[in-house]
Amino acid sequence: MHLSKAVVRTEHASRYLQQLCKHWSHKFSVDFDPHRGRVPFNDTTEVTFTADDAALTMVLSVADPAQQASMQGVIGDHLKRFAFREVLDIVWTD
């Protein structure tokens, strides 16, 4: 598995975690609470979220490294849509 991580500074981390998980719960078997969430996109790709008072941490796990950049973009784009009232700095690291 190939892992990448983004720590996004925001005071609204829990809100965004819940919005993202609720959004994807219509298609995937999502588990979440206000502080942690997990979205299994398929058998080999998932993202986990952790929220605290200062940041939303996202950890992406993919089996195929060719999917990594695409999935980072999908997750980042969705987060930006929900966080349209603020400018977020989303930087993924391996």
> Does residue 93 fall inside a structural domain?
no
> Does residue 9 fall inside a structural domain?
yes
> Does residue 88 fall inside a structural domain?
no
> Does residue 39 fall inside a structural domain?
yes
Task: Please list, in sequence order, all residues whose beta carbon lies within 8 angstroms of the beta carbon of residue 12, skipping any fewer than 6 positions away.
Answer: 83, 86
Dump pLDDT digits (tens) for 9-58: 999 999 999 999 999 999 999 999 999 999 999 999 999 999 999 999 99
Please give the tally of structural domains in the chain. Answer: 1
> Does residue 68 fall inside a structural domain?
yes
Dump pLDDT digits (tens) for 62-84: 999 999 999 999 999 999 999 99
Calpha distance 56→36 (Å, rounded): 10
CATH number of the CATH domain containing 70: 3.30.310.50
pTM for this model (two decimals): 0.95
Calpha distance 36→41 (Å, rounded): 16
CA atoms within 13 A on the CB side of 90: 21
> Does residue 36 fall inside a structural domain?
yes
Domain containing 50 equals 2-82
